[in-house]
């Protein structure tokens, strides 16, 4: 029987809730490669990737995951050909409109991290509308990283902290890890427990560099358009089996 036909309850029935990740972050990689292997335009891979976004979002919500963060567009992706970027912006705008029904039905609250500069006004308008529409929802938090870069996020946090010091609102001696976390785009969010990467790449690609310090990494050879519920179940099951010591040692028996 194909794994995709297994219900969430059956697939993870033996995995205790306390062993599952609270926050899953995903680097969605391989859309272009998936398309090129099939003789299709790269943008077709991005279109097919939207279905994987929908499947992962709905399944995480049903499984009771507290937060899902998806790496949609990096600050480095602006180096791609202009026609591909234009199509990506169209897809993003379309997604923000069409997925409102999913957010409502699944009680999902949307947020976005990254720099707004450079994004088309129409995308920003639909983004803000969707965030506002879902702001009353109390279920899973869905965070989209758009025009995002981990180093840029740290730079922005340092600038904000420096400004607080300059204005006398903060003493340099009081700056600690909590101070930095509170000035990141992700302020108020819990750090990811599990970082999933598709397409077999073994790097974090400037994604949530501060926040993933103790995240468990899980990599699949499947490209993002191929990612489905069975892959999500496998990642959660593998996460649950790991011994997370956070730099410490397990007590000797």
Catalytic residue among 29, 31, 147, 231: 29
Q: Which one of 77, 156, 164, 206 is the catalytic residue?
A: 77
Biggest CA pair distance of the chain = 64
N-to-C CA span, the chain: 42
Distance CA 193, CA 167 (A): 36
Sequence-ordered list of residues with C-beta below 8 angstroms from that of 174, at least 6 positions apart, any chain: none
- Rounded Cα distance between 89 and 78, Å, is 11
What is the DSSP secondary-structure string of the chain? --GGGS-HHHHSTTS-GGGS-SEEEEE---HHHHHHHTT--HHHHHHHHHHHHHHHHHHHHHHT-SEEEEEEEEGGGGGS-HHHHHHHHHHHHHHHHHTHHHHHHHT-EEEEES--TTS-HHHHHHHHHHHHHHTT--S-EEEEEEEE-HHHHHHHHHHHHHHHHHTTSS-GGG--HHHHHHTSTTTTSPPPSEEEE-TT--S-TTSSTTTTTTPEEEE-SS-GGG--HHHHHHHHHHHHHS---TT--PPP-
Told to judge if 77 belongs to the known catalytic residues of this protein, a careful annotator would answer yes
105 catalytically annotated: no
Catalytic residues: 29, 77
């Amino acid at each position: 029987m194909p794994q995709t036909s297994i219900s969430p309850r059956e697939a993870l029935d033996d995995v205790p809730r306390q062993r599952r990740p609270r926050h899953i972050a995903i680097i969605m990689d391989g859309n272009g490669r998936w398309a090129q292997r099939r003789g299709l335009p790269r943008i077709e891979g991005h279109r097919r990737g939207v279905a994987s976004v929908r499947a992962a979002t709905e399944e995480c919500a049903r499984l009771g995951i507290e937060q899902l963060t998806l790496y949609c567009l990096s600050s480095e992706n602006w180096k791609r050909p202009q026609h591909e970027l234009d199509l990506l912006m169209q897809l993003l705008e379309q997604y923000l409109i069409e997925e409102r029904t999913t957010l409502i039905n699944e009680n999902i609250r949307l947020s976005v991290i990254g720099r707004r500069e450079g994004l088309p006004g129409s995308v920003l308008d639909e983004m803000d509308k969707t965030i506002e529409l879902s702001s009353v929802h109390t279920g899973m938090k869905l965070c989209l990283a758009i025009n995002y870069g981990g180093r840029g996020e740290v730079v922005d946090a340092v600038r904000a902290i420096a400004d607080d010091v300059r204005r006398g609102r903060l003493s340099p001696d009081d700056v600690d890890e909590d101070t930095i976390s509170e000035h990141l785009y992700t302020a108020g969010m819990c750090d990811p427990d599990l970082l999933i990467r598709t397409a077999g790449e073994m790097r974090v690609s400037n994604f949530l560099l501060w926040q993933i310090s103790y995240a468990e990494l899980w990599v699949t050879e499947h490209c993002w358009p191929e990612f489905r519920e069975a892959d999500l179940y496998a990642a959660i099951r593998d996460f649950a089996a790991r011994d997370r010591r956070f730099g410490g040692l397990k007590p000797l028996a």
